[in-house]
Structure 1
Amino acid sequence: MKKYFQSTIYIIFVIVTFLALAKSFMVYANPFDIYENPLVWIALIGFVLVVVLKEMVNVIAINKATELRNEKLGIVPEESNAWIKKLLKSWTRSKDIDSEQEIILEHNYDGIQELDNTLPPWWVYMFYASIVFAIVYLVRFEVLDGDNQIVEYNKAVAEAKAALKEYKSNAPATDFITAENVTLLTDAKDLGRGKAIFKLNCASCHIADGGGAIGPNLTDEFWILGGGIKNVFSTISNGGRDGKGMIAWNKTLKADDMAKVASYVLSLQGTTPANPKAAEGDKWVAEGTEVKEVPLETEIE
């Protein structure tokens, strides 16, 4: 019974961890950035360790069962690591303990005697390789006047700029969305994607219906850092107020995903949340009107 319970827990852990990792890869722009997404690395390392340790336990158990069976039947297995010993001996050329008497030097130091072993082949080959490398280095940089580090750096920067220019000319426009060129999205598919990302990353502070909790209410006309698609996108990308606002999501979410979240947030305008938080900030009026912002205190009066 215990064996089946452990197997069930192991299978559930593997499935849940795999699904969580797959979800993070789809949502986050840089899931492998350890500074922005440390939990992804923790989950990945934990997943690998559990799988590896489980397989190691299985191998140990099988080997132990085999040993017990051979011991019961009186079978003496052949030494399995004989080839390793042979390989080590060929790469060290050391004498066996039984033959060390042949290479003991006559002098000793306070009873400590020295063996006259030959140098290991791997050490000799590395020494010769270092000589060859030094000759090649000398000829390339001193005789043939090869590129130094500064020249190589400038070439690498020029190649990177050319590659970036080519990438920008061929990449989709969604990869270069900024607060200056972002536009309001109204397609149901885009808003659906924005809603999914909002529930995964934003609902903990703003509530799923946008009514606000730690974060402000997103359904009224009042905004702390300005309303409209450009301001909302900029707030999501760069974060809220220093010290007490939300984090910047530009290292976690893709630009087009931030545009979809911003569009979804604006689609919540005028809705009625279950428990709306009191208004914060200033009333936002779209551009083109005579008054753009009205203080909250004036509006209440």
Structure 2
Amino acid sequence: MEFLIKQLGRIKKFPTFIIALIFIISISWLADGFVEFLKLLYEGNLNFVLISAVIITLNLILYWLIGKLSKINENHLFLAILTCAFVVLLFAFALREFLKENLLAFIQFSLSSITFLIIWLYIRNSDLRFSVKEVSPKNIKGLVMFLSHWTNIPQNFNACNFKDLQGFYNCLKCPWEMQIRILDEYKEIKYLYVIASENGSYSQIKIFEQLVKKFFPNLEIIVHREPIDFENLEENILALEEAFKTLKEKPLKDNEILIDTTGGQKVQGIAGAFYSLNYDRYFVYVSTNSKKVKVFDVIIRETEGG
């Protein structure tokens, strides 16, 4: 439900807006119509029972019709709605003498139930289409990152030996360079949430904190409560959920947080991109060639019909 509500903010085309409006109206109509349905059924109204049976039959016919149309025409939804509305209204007016007191309830219940059926069939037979756009978000305050393991870390490593960031970039081949570049690109970041691996980078967190504090002394570093298995996708997703929950308590909004997909392994990149599918979440990547910081927004594209 939260996902559907957030997607309403992305509606740009008028036909899509009309469909969303019909869906919202149907929600209220279904409740009212269902209450009247129960009343009539409880009173043992034979006419209403027969009418309900006809409505169910019409729904089944419509189900079959949409299945046939979907194989012929991709824009079958609008035609199906018109056909359904015509049949139901014709049926309603034909039975006006039997439904003088309950015509509104009949229309509400029949139209709303059929609308839900159409939308369910449409969603069931539709493919999600995604679009990835490079964006330049403003007011970024948080960064969630997966800490890579530094295999060849110098024994005498000391962040204080570097005068500036350029000196750090030039002297060492450090797997944390990309995260440092992100922090340098978005200097307004206030919170850094670090997720480390159980068999590697967790033991190097203190060294990483020393390095970050050298160049970004005002940054608050939050370490995930425990190391995780970097090869377990579910653990990575759960860690991201906890990271966002923690940062939102600061409080930060979704569009003020970046998910770094550069660090760690491929699983971390998949987890970061997947988790950013939600509304107004971004993932960031640093090119290994140009060293350019790139932020991406993954959005669900509207189909041709909407």
Report the TM-score when normalising by structure 1: 0.22
Which protein has the larger Cα radius of gyration, Structure 1 or Structure 2?
A: 1
- TM-score computed with the length of structure 2 as normaliser: 0.22
Higher RCO (Cα < 8 Å, 6 or more apart): 2
Q: Which has the higher strand share?
A: 2
